[in-house]
């Protein structure tokens, strides 16, 4: 017993001694330069539109065998809406399924474009990595399209809507009274329901041009939604994820009601796998009441699915609009790069799964 006590005493003494020595080292290093050594977490440095543009141009230049960069349209303020394509034989349109990833329909939801930019870099970096064979596999068998900033004017202004001027209440007056359209209300899907169920779909808030949910004067009135429409109309897309913040929720059509689509089983199967990866809540229809709580008309998800049968998800990232903690954003990017990769793998069988389900 005594021996153990002695050992304990020695151990305690050693610990105290070490703490003192280390402490004094710490103190001396602080006093040797005048700035206090406090633990500081630098806020995360989000890409600006310009920084993203330069990054994508450099990547496309240095990896022209597997990545191409093109502008699918221009915003009201004249910014290019960049589209990245990742695939083998990247300059050709192949018979491979397309997968579309989008960020920043809402400009002030910064992680939504950061996740897309990270995914592009992740895919390129791991193309030749034999331990990540699935990256190579999706490069070779799918055509991946990424629009990190659907709404670059909104990103630059840090606003939800785009920068189109609105002419008076309900878009009729000649005077510009406010700016911007909520792009994820501007797609051409079921606008007539605003008038049948005005309260449920917030008719006043979507027709009042100063509202943050202003839908625009008519479907596809905006350059940005027009660009996505023309792209989707002319390419073979099987699946899509559009990123937003925040809420840790996964949504899928119908976005305006709880009515299941005829692909509900497929949506659930993919959605549950995504949920297993990010632990987000999968918002599946529980009743058949119209509309669903917080239901929206004119979303890209509804339009992509109804018009082209694209299995389209919306993911509300994280727990804040614009988190500043680097680790938080890093985690969002890594997790959702894996989710995007899974979506590409799944895209290989989506068309045959749909056909089987519709028999």
Interface ranges with Zn ion (CB under 5 A): 106, 109, 244
The encoded tokens of residue 103 equal 């960020």
Contacts of 311 (CB under 8 A, 6+ apart): 238, 239, 240, 252, 263, 266, 267, 270, 305, 350, 354
Question: d(Cα 226, Cα 204) in Å, to the nearest integer?
Answer: 24
Cβ proximity of 163 and 77 under 8 Å:
yes
Q: Closest separation between CB of residue 175 and Zn ion, Å?
A: 29
Q: How far is the CB of 185 from Zn ion (least distance, A)?
A: 10
The conformation of residue 205, written as its DSSP 8-state character, comes to: H
Judged by DSSP in three states, 80 sits in strand
Q: In the complex, what is the shortest distance from the CB of residue 294 to Zn ion, in angstroms, rounded to a whole number?
A: 12
**DSSP state, residue 131:** G
What Cα–Cα distance (Å) separates residue 282 from each residue in 84, 162, 268, 303? 28, 28, 8, 20
Q: Among residues 96 and 109, whose Cβ is nearest to Zn ion?
A: 109
| Shortest distance in whole angstroms from residue 161 CB to Zn ion | 11
Dihedral of alpha carbons 131, 135, 139, 142, sign:
positive
Nearer to Zn ion, 110 or 244 (CB): 244
CB of 98 or CB of 148, closer to Zn ion: 148
Which CB sits closer to Zn ion, 79 or 160? 160
Quick one: 55 or 322, whose CB is closer to Zn ion?
322
Q: How far is the CB of 323 from Zn ion (least distance, A)?
A: 15
Q: How far apart are CA 318 and CA 296, in angstroms?
A: 21
Instruction: Give the shortest CB-201-to-Zn ion separation in angstroms.
Output: 17
Closest to Zn ion by CB, 87 or 211: 211
């Amino acid at each position: 017993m005594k021996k153990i006590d002695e050992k304990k005493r020695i151990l305690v003494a050693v610990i105290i001694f070490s703490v003192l020595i280390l402490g004094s080292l710490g103190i001396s290093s602080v006093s040797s330069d005048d700035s206090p050594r406090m633990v500081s977490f630098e806020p995360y440095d989000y890409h600006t539109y310009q920084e993203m543009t330069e990054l994508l141009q450099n990547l496309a230049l240095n990896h022209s065998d597997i990545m191409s960069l093109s502008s699918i349209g221009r915003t009201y303020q004249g910014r290019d809406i960049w589209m990245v394509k990742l695939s083998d034989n990247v300059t050709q349109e192949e018979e491979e399924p397309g997968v579309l990833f989008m960020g920043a329909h809402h400009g002030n939801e910064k992680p939504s474009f950061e996740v897309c930019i990270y995914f592009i870099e992740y895919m390129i970096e791991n193309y030749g990595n034999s331990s990540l064979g699935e990256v190579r596999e999706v490069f070779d068998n799918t055509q991946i399209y990424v629009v990190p900033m659907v709404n670059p004017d909104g990103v630059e202004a840090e606003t939800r809507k785009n920068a189109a001027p609105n002419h008076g209440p309900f878009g009729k007056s000649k005077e510009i009274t406010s700016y911007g359209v909520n792009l994820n209300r501007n797609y051409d899907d079921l606008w007539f329901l605003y008038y049948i169920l005005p309260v449920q779909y917030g008719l006043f808030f979507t027709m009042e041009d100063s509202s943050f949910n202003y839908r625009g004067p008519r479907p596809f009135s905006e350059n940005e939604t027009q660009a996505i429409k023309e792209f989707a109309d002319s390419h073979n897309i099987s699946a899509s994820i559009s990123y937003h913040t925040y809420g840790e929720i996964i949504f899928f059509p119908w976005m305006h009601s709880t009515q299941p689509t005829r692909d509900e089983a497929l949506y659930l199967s993919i959605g549950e796998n995504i949920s297993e990866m990010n632990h987000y809540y999968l918002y599946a229809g529980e009743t058949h009441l119209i509309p669903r709580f917080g239901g929206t008309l004119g979303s890209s998800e509804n339009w992509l699915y109804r018009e082209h049968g694209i299995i389209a998800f919306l993911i509300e990232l994280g727990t804040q609009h614009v988190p500043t903690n680097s680790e938080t954003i890093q985690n969002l990017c890594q997790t959702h790069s894996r989710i995007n990769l899974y979506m590409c793998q799944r895209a290989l069988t989506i068309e045959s799964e749909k056909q089987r389900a519709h028999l």
